[in-house]
Every structure is written in structure tokens, then in C-alpha cells.
Amino acid sequence: MPKPTAPVALATVVSLALSLALVACGSSSTASPAGSAGASPPPPSPSANPTVAGIDHPTGATDIVLRIEQGGGFVAPDFLASQAPGFTLFGDGKVIFQQHVEIFPEPGPDGITHNRSWRIAQLDEGQIQELLGFALGPGGLGTAKESYLAGGIADAPDTTFTINAGGVVKKVVVSALGIDPAQSDQAARLAFQALATRLQDFDKGGTIGSDVYSPEQYRGILSSRDPDPTVKPVAWPWPTIKPTDFGGGSDNGAGGVFMARRTMTAAEVAALGLGDTTGGVQGLVLKGADGKLYSLILRPMLPDETS
């Protein structure tokens, strides 16, 4: 993998960030992915020695440069199991993100919920620089400490930012972001909120061109479940895959598996006959060859994820 150039000093990064922000005001405050809606983003042009101008950053196709993810709080276990980063900028300029929605998908007549497809876009180096300049400067990550805990809001989710640019390599965890700004670190929280708002609505409601992200692999999360006469299970479709092939889970208290996982290929997922699964599914009930029932959650995997 090509090695990035020497890191730029943080003072230079912040100065560049402010300059980039001023330039962006003359056009748009959001990096605009190349291409138009419905068209596949152009592949990055590989180079043996890629040139990175301004803010230094990794350039690999699986290198995480900027990411936001929310998790924790008082939510159902199946929601936690399917949790995923809402936005990731990779080193080659590829962006994979989940669109901002006000209304989440409802289960179909079969009880299965098909989540909205993730989107993919391609940024050029100028757009990458503008976005990193915002994240390190006005977005607060350049000078952020590692954690910001909100007192008195124990059940609120955490927002985690990951940054690897301009010599800044860190994760920043912010609890209860946007819920109660009246904290001692209010200025930093306002900066993080501005960055979160931008990343979580990266395509501005679908007005910026992107394409459907078609994952090569899925994370399958399996749990034993009790019989339910109101649920019609799907027959276990894989003759060479057994429930015991899902590992890393725990006992559900009744001798069954709980939240075990397995990396699944797109072909294995297609064998379920569920139609569009690019956004992942929840609420699927399988009946194994052993006669037992299992709940299966499918979550698309990102290029940097291996399990």
C-alpha cells in the first residue's frame, strides 16, 4: 500500500481548514460527489505514488480517513447488533453513507424489515481536502480530546468520530451529542454537532449524486427464538451452513445461541430469496433442519470490515 507523505503540522492544518472553509462558502459547504444520481461513481485512478496535497491522509481503498458512528443508549439488542457507521470516507476518496431519514422502514406483511440501501459516492482530492479541513477546523476534531461525557444522561447514545488526517489520528467519543448542549464543553459540542449534521446528511436529502452500495459481504447475526404461531418461518436454505457455524455469541439462558455472527457472501444472502437486501434486513425467522427457530439479522459490511 502506498505510504502517505509526511504529516502537516496541526497549526498548518487548522489554518488550511479555515481557508478551505472560506473558499467553500463561495460554492457549497458540502463536498459534492462526482456523477449523477443513478449512475455508478467512477473508479479511483490508482497510482504507484499518489500525490496528496495540503492535508495529508492515507490513500488506501480500505483506509478509514473520516468516520462517524452512533451506538449505545437504551435500544433493543437487535438494533445494536445491526449498528453500523453512518458515514465513512476512505483513502481513495470513496464515501459510503446512510441517508438521513425521518421515518424508518416498517416491517412488511411477512414481518421482515428491509432497511434502506446504503449509498456510495466518489470524491476528488479537492473535495477530500475541503471536507477534512472542515472536520479538523470548524468541526472540532483537530483539537478534540478523546472523550466528552454528558453528566446525568446515562441512557443516551454515544457518537464516535474517527479521523486520520493531517497528523491527527484519533477516535473522539461524545455522549448525548445534540441532546443536552448545556455541558461544560459546550463550545466543543457545538462544533461536533455541526460536523455530525454535515456527515449524517451528506447528500443533502438525496440532492447530491450517489449510487446504491452493493456489499460483497454481510454480517449475519443469529439468535435462537421460541415458537410463534403468528410467524411463518423461512426454510433454512444452506445445506452446507449450520447454526453452529455462527460463532462468537453467548448462551441465551435456555441453551440456545444469542447474537452469534458469521460473515456471509452476497450469494449466500441471495439464497434466502428476500429480494433487495442491500440495506440489510431485520425480523427474518428461519427454521433449521433441527426443527428449531432462529432469528437472523443481516447487515452490509464495509470495505474495511472482515468479520
Q: Give residue 138's pLDDT.
A: 97
Distance of CA 123 to the CA centre of its chain: 17
In tens, the pLDDT along 44-65 reads: 433 333 444 599 999 999 999 9
Query: Which residue type is seen at 213?
Result: Y
Cell 467553500 belongs to which residue? 24
Return the C-alpha cell found at 120: 456510495
As a whole number of angstroms, the distance between CA 243 and CA 288 comes to: 8
In tens, the pLDDT along 233-290 reads: 999 999 999 998 998 755 545 445 668 899 999 999 999 999 999 999 999 999 998 8
List, for the chain, all residue ranges whose pLDDT scores fall below the cut of 50.
1-52, 252, 254-255
Q: Give residue 76's pLDDT.
A: 61
Angle between helices 125-136 and 10-25 (to 10 degrees): 110
As a whole number of angstroms, the distance between CA 199 and CA 186 comes to: 20
As a whole number of angstroms, the distance between CA 23 and CA 153 comes to: 38
Q: Give residue 249's pLDDT.
A: 59
Q: Give residue 195's pLDDT.
A: 98
**In the chain, where the domains are located:** 10-200, 214-300
* DSSP H or E stretch at residue 307: none
Q: What are phi and psi of 57, to 5 degrees?
A: -160, 160
Cell 461525557 belongs to which residue? 149
Helices (H), the chain: 10-25, 77-81, 125-136, 186-200, 266-270
As a whole number of angstroms, the distance between CA 10 and CA 7 comes to: 9
Return the C-alpha cell found at 61: 481503498
Q: Give residue 172's pLDDT.
A: 97
pTM for the whole structure: 0.79
